[in-house]
Amino acid sequence: MSEAPLAGMLVADLSRVLAGPLVGQTLADLGARVVKVERTGAGDDTRGWAPPRSATGSTYFDSANRGKESLQLDLVDPADQALARELVARADVVIENFKPGTTARLGLDRDALLAAHPRLVWCSISGYGAAPGGADRAGYDFVIQATSGLMHVTGEADGPPTKAGVALVDVLTGKDATAGILAALLRRERTGVGGLVEVALLSSAQAALVNQLQAVLGSPTLEPRVVDPRPSSEPMRAGSAHPSIVPYQLLATADAPLAVAVGNDAQFRALCRELDVAALADDARFATNADRVAHRDALVPLLEEALAHAPAADWEQRLLSAGLVAGRVRTISEGLALAREVGLDPTRELHGPAGRGTTLASPIRIDGDARTSPIPPPLLGQHDAALRVWLTTN
């Protein structure tokens, strides 16, 4: 294995819950030393988000804190504030998701510390940004899914708005923040200066709306769209269907739904051939993708009628063999089995003071290796003694 990309770098992870901790975990997977600062006696909020429980408190905590050392600090206490400042002074990267303005009240004035340590990269994650009007609003993933517009386009057409099955906005924000940090570190290699990376959950959620949001804005090369405030002017919920591609959705089979994704007219013709309804590809209503979008309500029942002759697993294999893109809906466990089947090796075994455990492997592969820290999520305060000695030793 080649040297880890971030070997020798120190990260002070002052964040909690999910978005920030995911950043720290990713940097740990890439080789950085990550010290997680937690509230004395309580720790990260997610240690108590159970069941399911684990040796650290919860499997929720475990999902975002692999590869870290845990240091308990009371940031209201002047002595512990001094230790936190010393940690920041030694760090290459700081991650925090306090409400804007909080760090200054805790003796960790961001601007002052950046001025004192020009090579430092400081990442601030917030719900709605630091500008007036947003700074005072706390942000949790679930509420951001609602306020960003994401929930408005998620769910069945005749059903209520629905959140994603995971804290998707936190995950996306964590990835955006990681990209910003790595870019700032790369710039530092050229200039010797770090800087401030700011990411807001609302911004990451809206960036993730990609085509749906751009449909509201219009084309940047044409006249901007004038948005009608009535709900009918906005993209709406459509279940698994795609607003601009057909078929690109779940289709019923003899026993279970099958995800079918047809990205061009040649694929549609191949799909019709495999479903033994080749004549549909010659129907003028379905000749092009634009035609299929316009006649979605006529096409989908015809495809499902053909699919009703066999179970989803049989169709999946048949369509895959024909080079088409399809897959049956799997449980999380079945999804892990599929990852093993295709050779992705999705999990890693970890060994630590709490015993043996399993973690999801990092999705990032470098030189053929999935960069996954071998260090298990820490017990609360597990590294207190050693870190306090280190921080008070020149």
Which class for 120: exposed (0-12), middle (13-18), buried (19 or more C-beta within 10 A)?
A: buried
Residue with the two structure tokens 């960790």: 108
C-beta of residue 162 within 8 angstroms of C-beta of residue 155: yes
3-state secondary structure of 102: helix
Residue 305, CA atoms < 13 Å, CB-side half-sphere: 8
Nearest to 161 by CA among 146, 139, 181: 146
Nearest to 357 by CA among 69, 28, 47, 66: 66
Could you list the beta-strand ranges (E) of the chain. 10-13, 33-39, 68-73, 93-96, 121-126, 195-200, 248-252, 257-261, 325-328, 347-352, 355-360, 365-366, 369-370
Alpha-carbon distance of 258 to 275, in angstroms, equals 13
Whether 170 is catalytic: yes
Between CA 19 and CA 362, with CA 182 as vertex, the angle to 5 degrees is: 60
C-beta of residue 117 within 8 angstroms of C-beta of residue 188: no
Token couple for 56: 């650290």
Which residues lie below 8 Å from residue 174, measured CB to CB, with a gap of 6+?
18, 19, 20, 21, 22, 23, 26
Residue with the two structure tokens 């030393």: 33
Token couple for 16: 């909690």
| DSSP designation for 360 | E
Phi, psi of 249 (to 5 degrees): -170, 180
| Options 170, 228, 291, 314, the catalytic residue | 170
Which class for 145: exposed (0-12), middle (13-18), buried (19 or more C-beta within 10 A)?
A: buried
Q: Which residues form the catalytic set?
A: 170
